[in-house]
């Protein structure tokens, strides 16, 4: 597929991976690289439909975001479908993906699909496909309730059933709060143990601080959630 590109575009692709070419290699400018990537995808799409899947684009860097935009806007008549996934809860107010997604939707070149969690039937089927057997209803109910339909949590809880919370899942959940102050971590730990709804005075008492300390910790936790 690279053989069909002009020398300058082949050289641009050489910045991504080695190209068997007798011509001298040099670093091309960004436009040539974007054009080369698009031309390769378009060439493949001319032979058969192409599905390009990009996961977790909430972590994408600016250059890759620009490349994605270039491909989407140029693939007007190509049999090319791009599926990009991201977690909405990762998009804080100033996240650069927000205006990017909004611009794509306004252009008519993209459609946003919001996916919810798995329901109990889905969780049951997932567990059966992983284990190859039907687990007791009580086990399925417990995993479904604790995971809230999150596929990753279902898999982790299934792997560690009977042994408490798997260490891998515990580390995943605790990673965002690792950089918070000790009082804030204590508040979050107490809140997690109490449940979804709790009186603020009770939470302050359990966490071992005053209501003013509680508000300061909650404020710190809130700002952490915005900048993740």
Q: What is the pLDDT of residues 205-225, one digit of tens each?
A: 777 777 788 888 878 876 666
Handedness of CA 17, 23, 25, 26 (dihedral sign): negative
**Domain for residue 65, yes or no?**
yes
Q: For the chain, what is the largest distance between any 2 Cα atoms, rounded to a whole number of angstroms?
A: 74
Q: At what angle do helices 151-159 and 167-174 cross, to 10 degrees?
A: 140
Nearest to 178 by CA among 142, 226, 228, 216: 228
The H helix count followed by the E strand count for the chain is 11, 2
Check if the beta carbon of residue 15 is closer than 8 Å to that of residue 33: yes
Confidence band for 10, pLDDT divided at 50, 70 and 90: low
Handedness of CA 140, 146, 149, 154 (dihedral sign): negative
Examine the domain organization and report whether 39 and 85 are in the same domain.
yes
Examine the domain organization and report whether 98 and 125 are in the same domain.
no
Stated as kind and residue range, the H or E segment containing 194 is: helix 182-194
**Domain for residue 218, yes or no?**
yes
CA distances from 192 to 183, 187, 198, 202, 223 (A): 14, 9, 10, 13, 18
Examine the domain organization and report whether 123 and 206 are in the same domain.
no
Q: Which of 81, 107, 133 is the last residue of a domain?
A: 107
**Domain for residue 173, yes or no?**
no
pLDDT of amino acid 176: 66
The pTM (predicted TM-score) of the whole model is 0.58
Examine the domain organization and report whether 123 and 99 are in the same domain.
no
**Domain for residue 112, yes or no?**
no
Segment 173-187 mean pLDDT: 75
Q: Which of 60, 83, 107 is the last residue of a domain?
A: 107
Examine the domain organization and report whether 12 and 88 are in the same domain.
yes
Examine the domain organization and report whether 152 and 212 are in the same domain.
no
d(CA 21, CA 89): 45
Strand partners, 54: 84
pLDDT of amino acid 175: 65
Q: Tell me the Cα Rg of the chain.
A: 24
Domain, as residue range, for 75: 2-107
Beta carbons within 8 Å of 84's beta carbon, 6+ residues apart: 53, 54, 55, 57, 68
Examine the domain organization and report whether 6 and 102 are in the same domain.
yes
Examine the domain organization and report whether 213 and 126 are in the same domain.
no
Q: Count the neighbouring beta carbons within 10 Å of the beta carbon of residue 66.
A: 14
Q: What is the pLDDT of residues 38-62, one digit of tens each?
A: 999 999 999 999 999 999 999 899 9
Confidence band for 24, pLDDT divided at 50, 70 and 90: very low
d(CA 228, CA 145): 26
**Domain for residue 174, yes or no?**
no
Examine the domain organization and report whether 92 and 121 are in the same domain.
no
pLDDT of amino acid 180: 79
pLDDT of amino acid 21: 46
pLDDT of amino acid 225: 62
Q: Which of 56, 85, 107 is the last residue of a domain?
A: 107
**Domain for residue 16, yes or no?**
yes
Check if the beta carbon of residue 5 is closer than 8 Å to that of residue 39: yes
**Domain for residue 81, yes or no?**
yes
d(CA 71, CA 43): 13
pLDDT > 90 in the chain, percent: 26
Least confident of 111-115, 126-130, 170-174, 211-215: 170-174
Here the tokens at position 202 are 């009770």
Number of domains in the chain: 3
């Amino acid at each position: 597929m690279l053989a069909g590109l002009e020398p300058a575009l082949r050289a641009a692709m050489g910045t991504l991976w080695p190209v068997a070419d007798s011509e001298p290699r040099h670093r091309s400018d960004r436009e040539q690289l974007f054009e080369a990537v698009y031309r390769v995808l378009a060439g493949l799409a001319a032979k058969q439909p192409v599905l390009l899947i990009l996961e977790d684009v909430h972590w994408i860097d600016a250059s890759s975001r620009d490349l994605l935009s270039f491909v989407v806007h140029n693939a007007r008549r190509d049999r090319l479908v791009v599926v990009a996934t991201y977690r909405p809860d990762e998009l804080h107010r100033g996240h650069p993906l927000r205006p990017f997604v909004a611009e794509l939707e306004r252009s008519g070149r993209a459609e946003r699909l919001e996916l919810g969690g798995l329901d109990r039937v889905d969780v049951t089927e997932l567990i059966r496909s992983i284990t190859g057997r039907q687990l007791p209803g009580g086990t399925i109910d417990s995993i479904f309730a604790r995971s809230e339909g999150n596929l990753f949590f279902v898999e982790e809880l299934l792997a560690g059933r009977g042994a408490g919370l798997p260490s891998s899942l515990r580390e995943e959940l605790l990673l965002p709060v690792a950089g918070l102050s000790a009082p804030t971590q204590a508040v979050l730990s107490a809140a997690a143990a109490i449940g979804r709804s709790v009186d603020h005075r009770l939470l302050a008492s359990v966490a071992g601080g005053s209501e003013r300390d509680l508000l300061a910790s909650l404020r710190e936790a809130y700002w952490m959630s915005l900048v993740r």
